[in-house]
Amino acid sequence: MKVLSLGCGGFIGSHLTRRLLDKGHSVTGIDIYNDKIEECIGHDKFSFIRHDIRKPGLGLKEMVADADVVIDLIAYANPGLYIKMPLEVFRLNFVENLKIADACLSLGKRLIQFSTCEVYGKTVVSFLKEELKDPEDPRYATFSEDSSDFILGHLGKHRWIYSCAKQLLERVIHAYGIEKNFNYTIIRPFNFIGPKIDYLLDETDGIPRVFSFFMDALINGTPMKLVDGGHHRRCYTYIDDAIECIYRIVMNPDNVCDRQIFNIGTPENEVSIRQLAEMMREIYNDTFSDKRRPLSEIIEVPASDFYGEGYEDSDRRIPDISKARRLLGWEPKWKLREMLETTMRYYITEYLKHYREQHADAHFHDIVHKALEIT
């Protein structure tokens, strides 16, 4: 199969490229960055084009015409950026992504569009807590692709522009399906974790996502900051489980994924952000720390200090994955603790060792050394 993958150099894209090549498919990949897919460059079935899709000269239509399936992963997917530059988030995540959908529509190609679980927004519990008999009932926070409503904050909470842009893109693609028989599959990821999730120590693309932020804090002995107490809950999924599901969607057995939306997540791995911080701290202390430096403290910070004004968060979200189970026979396998340990080890060994030169203090050498011994 010939796959065109836009955003192939990101967290999900890099793992997916590897899987597609390993399975013998041809991949044309487009991204601004190639650090995460360096190992694939040079593969005879991979052609990488470094290009910013906002700039002219890509030849998108020709590339779409040449592909059997198009996968669009491109987005700003970082809450810090939704606060800092909401217009640019809208422009990239909706306006530019729509051009990709339009090219697929005009050439009759199937599109796999990455959306987000953030389209579901908040739960009813976030504003009706007092009136509900059992606000802890997980049914209030369990979201299904084809029946759950979307609840977002007011305009002053402009972080929802990410969710809105993704939702609008989904709605247009869905309408193309109704009016123009467009063939698509929409994917809503629920918080994936794994190697290559974000760069540590680098805020070029905003504050890194929570795992990388905590990892960075642990390595540097700086505070692990819990935004608004860290009460919000998430269900984490290991990247290998996610890629297995995405790969099945790409293969589309008996066309079961045509005009379908899929949640990809692990309902059993629910944890509050505070519990996530505590678990990572414990793993770091038990497995990686040299014990010479005090462990990072966990502290609380208001969202307005951490992100700026306009922030609000989904209080809780649990994926209903019965559709992926039924249509694709997919079942996530990784438990939270093991995915954290594996990913933390990756960061300390494979990733941070490249930074040995720049961060050559004794503490850093010790943790890398310890992790390498354990691997």
Ligand X SMILES: NC(=O)c1ccc[n+]([C@@H]2O[C@H](COP(=O)([O-])OP(=O)(O)OC[C@H]3O[C@@H](n4cnc5c(N)ncnc54)[C@H](O)[C@@H]3O)[C@@H](O)[C@H]2O)c1
* CA nearest neighbour of 92 among 6, 28, 155: 6
Contact present, 114 and 75 (Cβ < 8 Å): yes
Calpha distance 143→146 (Å, rounded): 9
Among residues 116 and 289, whose Cβ is nearest to ligand X?
116
Place of tokens 């491109």: 74
The least CB distance from residue 250 to ligand X, in Å, is: 14
The least CB distance from residue 304 to ligand X, in Å, is: 24
Among residues 115 and 123, whose Cβ is nearest to ligand X?
115
What DSSP line would sit under 264-284, residue for residue? E--GGGEEEHHHHHHHHHHHI
Among residues 268 and 290, whose Cβ is nearest to ligand X?
268
80: its two tokens: 């810090």
CB burial string 42-70: b at 16+ within 10 A, e below: ebeebebeebebeeeebebeebbeebebb
Calpha distance 297→224 (Å, rounded): 6
Binding site for ligand X (CB under 6 A): 7, 9-13, 30-33, 52-54, 73-75, 77, 92, 114, 116-117, 189, 191-192
Contact present, 262 and 323 (Cβ < 8 Å): yes
Among residues 13 and 289, whose Cβ is nearest to ligand X?
13
The least CB distance from residue 130 to ligand X, in Å, is: 31
The least CB distance from residue 111 to ligand X, in Å, is: 13
Residues serving a catalytic function are 162
The least CB distance from residue 92 to ligand X, in Å, is: 6
CB neighbours (10 Å) of residue 96? 17
Among residues 195 and 310, whose Cβ is nearest to ligand X?
195
Place of tokens 């060994």: 349
Backbone angles phi, psi at 87, to 5 degrees: -65, -40
The least CB distance from residue 248 to ligand X, in Å, is: 17
For residue 238, give Cα distances in angstroms to 264, 265, 318.
Answer: 10, 9, 15
Residues β-bridged to residue 269 = none
Contact present, 263 and 141 (Cβ < 8 Å): no
The least CB distance from residue 372 to ligand X, in Å, is: 26
What DSSP line would sit under 130-187, residue for residue? GG-S-TT-GGGGEE-TTT---B---TT-GGGHHHHHHHHHHHHHHHHHHHH---EEEE
The least CB distance from residue 370 to ligand X, in Å, is: 28
* CA nearest neighbour of 12 among 2, 29, 23: 29
Among residues 242 and 368, whose Cβ is nearest to ligand X?
242
Among residues 172 and 295, whose Cβ is nearest to ligand X?
172
Among residues 199 and 306, whose Cβ is nearest to ligand X?
199
Long-range contacts of 84-91 (CB under 8 A, 24+ apart): 84/206, 84/308, 86/158, 86/159, 86/161, 86/310, 89/161, 89/162, 89/165, 90/161, 90/164, 90/165, 91/54
